[in-house]
Amino acid sequence: MQSIVVYCGSNPGKKAIYAESAYALGAELAKRNIKLIYGGGNMGLMGRVADGAMENDGFVTGIIPNFLAKLEVAHKTLSELHFVDTMHERKAKMVSISGGVIALPGGYGTFDELFEILTWAQLRIFEGPVGLLNVNGFYDLLLLQLDKMVEEGFLRSDNRDLLIVADNASELLDKMEKASQLNPENKPLDRSLYIDNN
């Protein structure tokens, strides 16, 4: 994997471990020479994951809608920053230039992005690995819910297995690299399937 999208909260959370883990993920991506692609913000976990990569000589691409940039929440020291018109365009552009996705703790936006990319993976629109960094057991209840969905017949077990989980960045990236190698036809995302370019 040459690049990974990171979804995460624009808030830092109430415990220091969340911001520390976001920074550690950014630093680990830089160490492995994997480009970080994210939503371009400077606040919360978004800012920390970017700082972790930038302060360890990594390459960071931010993609932010114009309306958020006008609120002055864009990170000022990224390798590159792209401006788009809508949230949908932001999500599409981020994933179209990535080889994998990781979700850190976050709120509604993070959950929206995570489940959208899992749906795309299920439909084989996106073929890269999808990882969940389960910091401080943040996602334990969500993982139980996914198991319940399988148990009740709403989610196939092979699609449940699309989500790769670990509680630290190094282990998660190792698992994702292995999954990526098992799928050598990890094709770029076909943006025409979900965005109108006309």
Mean pLDDT, residues 136-158 taken together = 97
Give which of 69, 27, 84 is closest to 50, Cα–Cα.
27
pLDDT, residue 185, reads 56
Residue 184 vs residue 38, higher pLDDT: 38
- pLDDT in the model for residue 198: 46
| This prediction's pTM | 0.91
Q: What is the mean pLDDT of the chain?
A: 91
pLDDT tens figures, 64-115? 998 887 776 788 889 999 999 999 999 999 999 999 999 999 999 999 999 9
Q: What is the DSSP string of 119-144?
A: HHHHTTS--S-EEEE-GGGTTHHHHH
Order of strands, sheet of 80-84, starting from the edge strand that comes earlier in the sequence: 80-84, 60-65, 35-38, 3-7, 101-103, 130-133, 163-166
Residue 183 confidence (pLDDT)? 73
Using CA atoms, how far apart are residues 198 and 96, in angstroms rounded to an integer? Answer: 18
pLDDT confidence bin for 182, thresholds 50/70/90: confident
Q: Does the structure show a pLDDT above 60 at 192?
A: no
